[in-house]
Amino acid sequence: MRLYHCILAGVTTAMVWALSLASAGEPVGTTDPVQAAISALASAGAVTYSHRPKYSDAIDDLFLGYDAAGKPVTGAALREFKTYEKVTAMLAVQAADGAFVIRSAEIPDIGVIKNAEKQNKVTGAIRSVTGKTVRDASGKEITVDAVTGATRYQKRIYSSFNLMARAIVAEINRNASDWEKKPVPAAGG
């Protein structure tokens, strides 16, 4: 009986410790979406960036990344939507030889989806869009299509990505000079 009480006390202590850690910070698998977007701009080679919070009713934030000459060359958008849980999608698009390609896509707060199988379905949908062209050099828009057998939740991801990609491309082409530009922070800063 004594061993049972020791084990029970140990398990209880571990659970209290784990719960206190979880409540002290962000859930596992959570990154600040704004930082994820700025990191995507930096990895695309942007020197400065601009940020429009509350860009539209459908897009929470839109970012543009500029090269050394001040020309917009990449963009990122954030959009909160419901998949298995309410999550934030981040999509980054880069201009390349007149075309626009998805540079990166992620769900920075993927940790809110607790079920590992559901997380894998979401991340699988995301991986399948990276590198896809959303507008070719002739100006033809290309839809980010759902893969065969996609769940309704995955289809929502693709729909969100289409919406975000269109907005990013439009703003890169518009070259909004009225947006305040800031230096892209150095890695880790």
Range of the domain at 52: 33-183
Residues 19 and 57 in one domain: no
Residues 18 and 77 in one domain: no
Asked if residue 123 is part of any domain, the answer here is yes
Residues 6+ apart with CB under 8 A from 65: 41, 42, 44, 45, 46, 47, 48, 49, 72, 73, 74, 75, 76, 184
Asked if residue 60 is part of any domain, the answer here is yes
Query: pLDDT tens for residues 161-175?
Result: 999 999 999 999 998
pTM value is 0.79
Q: pLDDT value at position 148?
A: 59
Residues 121 and 100 in one domain: yes
Residue 22 pLDDT > 60, yes or no? Answer: no
Residues 8 and 97 in one domain: no
Residues 78 and 8 in one domain: no
pLDDT more than 70, % of the chain: 79
Other CB atoms within a 10 A radius of the CB of residue 143 amount to 13
Domain count, the chain: 2
Residues 83 and 139 in one domain: yes
